[in-house]
Amino acid sequence: MSATVADAKILMLRRSMRSLVYGLLSFLPILGFGFAVVTFKVSWQAWSTERQLWNAARSYRIAGMICAILASIFWTVILVLIVWNIAHQAYS
């Protein structure tokens, strides 16, 4: 295995583990949206390398994406409820 392939695998593994960390951080209030966007970006980068090389940390990447998706849905619903409540009170 050449140095460039080994470097690419290490980078892919780091991105996959970073995806999980950022995915978990996406559950933080207010800051969560930013972490979810970063999770999507980092996971996409790891996935693009994963098509060529085997990724031992694939489950971390997938778990991070699931966390980011669930957190994004959750915080979007909360934001919609807050805006709806403010709009509803303004017209009452």
Q: What is the pLDDT of residues 15-33, one digit of tens each?
A: 999 999 999 999 998 899 9
DSSP symbols for 18-84:
HHHHHHHHTTSTTTHHHHHHHHHHHHHHHHHHHTTS--TTHHHHHHHHHHHHHHHHHHHHHHHHHHH
> What is the predicted pLDDT for the residue at 67?
98
> What is the predicted pLDDT for the residue at 2?
64
Domain ranges of the chain: 3-90
> What is the predicted pLDDT for the residue at 40?
97
Mean pLDDT of 61-65: 97
- Tell me the whole-structure pTM to 2 decimals: 0.88
Whether the per-residue pLDDT at 9 is higher than 90: the answer is: yes
